[in-house]
Chains A and B, each alone.
Chain A
Amino acid sequence: MRNMNAPKLGVILLMAPLMIWLFALIILPHVDMFLLSISEKIAPRVYETGFANYGEFFAEPLYWNTFARTAIMSIFTTIVTLVIAFPVSYYIAKMLRGRMKAILFVLCLLPFWVSELVRTFGWMILLRETGIVSTFLQWAGLADQPIEMLYTDATIVVGLVYTSMLFMVVPLVTTLESLDDSYIEAGYDLGGNGFTVMREIVIPHAMPGIVSGCIVVFMLSLGNYLTPILLGGKESLWFTEQIYAQFITRFNWEQGAAFGFLLLILSSLIVWGGLKLSRQTLSETMG
């Protein structure tokens, strides 16, 4: 009897931290958040259960427009990140050997040892009206007055791409490294050129890495608060900003909770759509 129970207790003890983590920090707050989101404020301190907070999102164009804008810009950020990260990852994984490979990989990691806030301020120092880029352009005679490069959509995308780069490079390098060189050689040997080998062999092999990198980058961009606010300014209209405003500025926790849930549901739908489009499954991608 004791022999039967002993390993079970071990399993329970080993699982306990994970379970406590999941329950206390993820499930419990979300359950509370959900309950909060379905409470309608009828009068001061009077609440009723209902989905009016969700209805508000669809009724007020500002809200869903903001969400659509956030989603589209996040998708765009993801694509730009992929386009930049793929050649970099291919170079690190397939072209380099030994020391140089490790050095380049660490160089990709290095910026992430600094906090996101500091990195974003770095961009502000570069791009503001009296910043380094603007001053340089005036000095070089390419501009006759100070240029404000902050607070535009392009700046937000630049900041987000920079912030997300690592999360695309790591899965890509990992999957590309697992591609044996002989597949690439066989691709050439059987008559393929650089383009066809890339399209027929390298990209299909790297697909799980591409998809998992894209999911992570998309989710991080969509849920990012700091970068859009700092680089996009007050007009940045990022959806997380709406949630923040409901919770903190307007003290409407019920509405904020509903927005939080909508963000979760809608972004999950977009990821699901992306997986369907690329014909990948979540288990393949993450496993």
Chain B
Amino acid sequence: MPSSPHASDFDLECHKITKRFGDFTAVNDISFSIPKGSFFSILGPSGCGKTTLLRMMAGFLEPDSGDLRIKGKSMVGVPPNKRPVNMVFQHLALFPMMTVEENIAYGLKRQGTPKADIPAKVKSALERINLPDAGPKRIDQLSGGQKQRIAIARCLVLNPDVLLLDEPLGALDLKLREHMKVELKQLQHKFDTTFVYITHDQSEALVMSDQVAVMNQGIFEQVGTPQDLYYKPQTAFVAGFVGDTNRWSGSIKGMSGNEVQIETKDGLKLVATAAGQNLATGQSVDIFVRPESVVISRKSDALVGIENTIQGNVESVLFDGANSRVLVRDPSSGDKIMVTLPQTGEFNDLQAGQELHLGWRLAQAKCFDKLSMSAEQLADMS
């Protein structure tokens, strides 16, 4: 598709998009733009509206209000077969009655590609996904990872402006999923196409994306780079949903500049950095601290100068090689704190019941206005 000199720098733009099903608002007034050639993920728990949003981009649903533009052209009212987007379905939807070649050729035939050119295009697509001999195979003869790649090739051979991916890695086993994450990112580079990827798996979103939008209850909580979301969450939901985290609930006792003093209902006094908006004394808040931000020591004097310190006993050691963690119980409040074990060897002999001193810096503790969900609900989602 030749691009005019005034063509937008954005491959896909959504402007105030809303979709309701009866009384339920699935997508609520969302606006965003996806730059050309980027990998954009929409991350959210199931039921947050991300599938609805994707289906509106593909054309299977029409927005109730708002505009959706692809390369500057409004797509409202354009049926799915006339849109310059293609979709990789959750269960891939490779046509079982056709061979791999026929699957890839299907879209080319519909585009009206001259019959003589189709075999060459199919061949080159198969070569680009490193499956040059798969052409005559039947779909049920392929492995999970091969099916993935064929499903992507079937779309990319059509040179869409935007490729939509609806959690395509969900059905794969863990090891293959890790492998496919890397491969998807490489395919995106190779084909230089804009990818819109929806998932509820934060690791998929963080590893592959240039930009991630965290979606919850029909709205975007935050849009940013994976680093932004992880290190600079803007809402309590993002802080709790993206990455693992420890969480305390309490109320604000005092504020000085960016520093907030909080007391939990068990009387624990903590200081944190104000990260949410409109914080005021007396307000109920949540504090989030990442497990890897917590420093542990066997002696209390090693933690001098660190703003927050807690003494506790090891509840259990969760050994997982480099990702080993330790669960520490604070005897005064009963809170359990997750801490990443430093890989220095110093704590390799840690046993349940041992006493530990924990500390974390002011900057590592982020304070947000209270989240409406409990920790368990949040954990269920991620």
User: Are A189 and B110 in contact (CB-based, < 8 A)?
Assistant: no
Q: Does A193 contact B (CB under 8 A)?
A: yes
**In the complex the two chains form, what is the Cα distance from A190 to B90 in whole Å?**
15
Given contacts A191-B111, A191-B158, contact A185 B80 (CB under 8 A): yes
Question: Contact mask B88-115 → A, CB, 8 Å, 1/0?
Answer: 0111010111100000001100110000
User: Are A201 and B95 in contact (CB-based, < 8 A)?
Assistant: yes
CB-CB < 8 A to A191: which residues of B? Answer: 81, 107, 110-111, 158
Partner of B107, one of A185, A190, A193, A201: A190
Q: Does B155 contact A (CB under 8 A)?
A: yes
Q: Does B154 contact A (CB under 8 A)?
A: yes
Q: Does B79 contact A (CB under 8 A)?
A: yes
Q: How far is the CB of B75 from chain A (nearest CB, A)?
A: 13
**In the complex the two chains form, what is the Cα distance from A190 to B86 in whole Å?**
6
Q: How far is the CB of A242 from chain B (nearest CB, A)?
A: 42
Q: Does B358 contact A (CB under 8 A)?
A: no
Question: Contact mask A97-127 → B, CB, 8 Å, 1/0?
Answer: 0000000000000000000000000000000
Q: Does A87 contact B (CB under 8 A)?
A: no
Q: Does B70 contact A (CB under 8 A)?
A: no
CB-CB < 8 A to A193: which residues of B? Answer: 81, 110
**In the complex the two chains form, what is the Cα distance from A205 to B94 in whole Å?**
13
CB-CB < 8 A to A189: which residues of B? Answer: 58-59, 80-81, 85-87
**In the complex the two chains form, what is the Cα distance from A193 to B109 in whole Å?**
12
Q: Does A60 contact B (CB under 8 A)?
A: no
Q: How far is the CB of A250 from chain B (nearest CB, A)?
A: 51
Q: Does A183 contact B (CB under 8 A)?
A: yes
CB-CB < 8 A to A138: which residues of B? Answer: none
CB-CB < 8 A to B79: which residues of A? Answer: 188
User: Are A192 and B110 in contact (CB-based, < 8 A)?
Assistant: yes
Q: Does A274 contact B (CB under 8 A)?
A: no
CB nearest neighbor in B for A190:
B107
Q: Does A186 contact B (CB under 8 A)?
A: yes
CB-CB < 8 A to B90: which residues of A? Answer: 182
Given contacts A190-B155, A190-B158, A191-B158, contact A185 B106 (CB under 8 A): no
Q: Does A56 contact B (CB under 8 A)?
A: no
Partner of B89, one of A182, A201, A205: A182
Q: How far is the CB of B216 from chain A (nearest CB, A)?
A: 26
Q: Does B60 contact A (CB under 8 A)?
A: yes
User: Are A180 and B93 in contact (CB-based, < 8 A)?
Assistant: yes
CB-CB < 8 A to A196: which residues of B? Answer: 110
CB-CB < 8 A to A204: which residues of B? Answer: 97-98
Given contacts A182-B90, A196-B110, contact A190 B154 (CB under 8 A): yes
**In the complex the two chains form, what is the Cα distance from A180 to B93 in whole Å?**
8
Given contacts A185-B60, A185-B80, A186-B87, contact A192 B106 (CB under 8 A): yes
**In the complex the two chains form, what is the Cα distance from A204 to B80 in whole Å?**
22
Given contacts A191-B110, A196-B110, contact A186 B60 (CB under 8 A): no
Q: How far is the CB of A98 from chain B (nearest CB, A)?
A: 15
Q: How far is the CB of A187 from chain B (nearest CB, A)?
A: 8
**In the complex the two chains form, what is the Cα distance from A268 to B59 in whole Å?**
48
Q: Does A200 contact B (CB under 8 A)?
A: yes
Please report which residues of chain A, range 142-197, place their CB below 8 angstroms from some CB of chain B when the two chains form the complex: 180, 182-183, 185-193, 196
**In the complex the two chains form, what is the Cα distance from A193 to B90 in whole Å?**
22
CB-CB < 8 A to A183: which residues of B? Answer: 93, 95
**In the complex the two chains form, what is the Cα distance from A192 to B98 in whole Å?**
15
CB-CB < 8 A to A201: which residues of B? Answer: 95, 97
Please report which residues of chain B, range 41-93, place their CB below 8 angstroms from some CB of chain A when the two chains form the complex: 58-60, 79-81, 85-87, 89-91, 93
4 new A-B contacts, CB < 8 A, other than A185-B93, A201-B97, are A180-B91, A190-B81, A205-B96, A205-B97
Residues of A within 8 A of B (CB): 180, 182-183, 185-193, 196, 200-201, 204-205
Residues of B within 8 A of A (CB): 58-60, 79-81, 85-87, 89-91, 93, 95-98, 106-107, 110-111, 154-155, 158
- A-B residue pairs, 9 tightest by C-beta: A191-B110, A190-B107, A186-B93, A204-B97, A182-B93, A182-B89, A188-B80, A188-B81, A189-B87
23 CB contacts below 8 A, A to B, read: A180-B93, A182-B90, A183-B93, A185-B58, A185-B80, A185-B87, A186-B95, A187-B106, A188-B79, A188-B80, A189-B58, A189-B85, A189-B86, A190-B86, A190-B107, A190-B158, A191-B81, A191-B111, A191-B158, A200-B95, A200-B106, A201-B95, A205-B97
